[in-house]
Amino acid sequence: MSAVLQALPSAVEVRPLSAHIGAEIHGVDLSRPLPPDQVAAIRAALLEWKVVFFRDQPLSHAQHVAFARQFGEPTIGHPVFGYEDNHPEIYSVGRNRKQVRFSGPALVRPWSGWHTDVTAAVNPPAASILRGVTIPPYSGDTQWTNLEVAYRELSAPLRGFVDGLRGLHRFAAPQGSTASSLFDDKVKRRPLLTEHPLVRVHPETGEKSLLVSPTFLQSIVGLAPRESQVLLELLFEHAIRPEFTVRFKWEPGSIAFWDNRATAHLAPQDIFATEFDRQLYRVTLGGVPPVGPDGRASVALEGDPITAARAEQD
């Protein structure tokens, strides 16, 4: 798409940020119900650009959830790690949430930390909506990558090979680190292990994308351990090539809304080199089990599907 600025219904403006992924949307007020043409315009921009951003939208928890409901059914905040009191749809993304789960120096590789949300479940969220509240003056940017472009940029023989493969996704401590008793207890209470296709077909657009979530994807079914390791490392490295990505600088009141079926993202690590606080909140929209090019859907090996927030019983 060559236009720098796209004019869409009801004064909605979509401003692309990179060649393959990411656009800012202006001209909407997310604190109120949106007219149908604005909902349609945002949905179209999301499918086109994979992640869309809004500025100056200081929403409450209730407004955040109400905005999300216009695009799908919110899930429970997190199927393993819970949700905010009195707001079952809201998951807290705070500065130190992972530091209380793991200890010790993890093995750091170029793809460390990149992930697609909750792929350990058989039905990962269709989309995620993250709201910035307490934002540091610098550091703390988030990055996303377009996994449809990553798939298309593989060589034809490799695309043909990965089209038929499947991988195992689970929650586990990063290699080299030790899980805390809190992490172990929560994972044991609600274990999740799923076999997903390595390539999924988008249920709305029909496009193929890599379903490679480095944080959760542990191995490839049917390959020898070394074969699995080498192929996964190649795919992880390829999926996060800089030209496939966009980087977003948060401000208070910023919203990021991404298609979890076609992206992976990276939470910032540089925040831990500062003393700044950072607090965001996430709502996820219910998804369906991914389906591969061969028509086979994902299979839950342990655990239940992610439920809608209103159906959750703790």
101, 196, 200, 265: which is the annotated catalytic residue?
265
101 catalytic residue (yes or no): no
Question: pLDDT, tens digit, for every residue of 49-101?
Answer: 999 999 999 999 999 999 999 999 999 999 999 999 999 999 999 988 665 55
- The fold of 6-306 is Double-stranded beta-helix (3.60.130)
87 catalytic residue (yes or no): no
pLDDT at 173 over 90: no
Question: Which DSSP helix (H) or strand (E) runs through 40?
Answer: helix 36-49
115, 131, 166, 278: which is the annotated catalytic residue?
115
Q: How far is CA 250 from CA 140, 142, 206, 228, 266, in A?
A: 7, 8, 32, 36, 14
78, 101, 200, 282: which is the annotated catalytic residue?
282
282 catalytic residue (yes or no): yes
Cβ atoms of residues 184 and 178 within 8 Å: no
Question: pLDDT, tens digit, for every residue of 227-278?
Answer: 999 999 999 999 999 999 999 999 999 999 999 999 999 999 999 999 999 9
117 catalytic residue (yes or no): yes
Q: Where are the domains of the chain?
A: 6-306
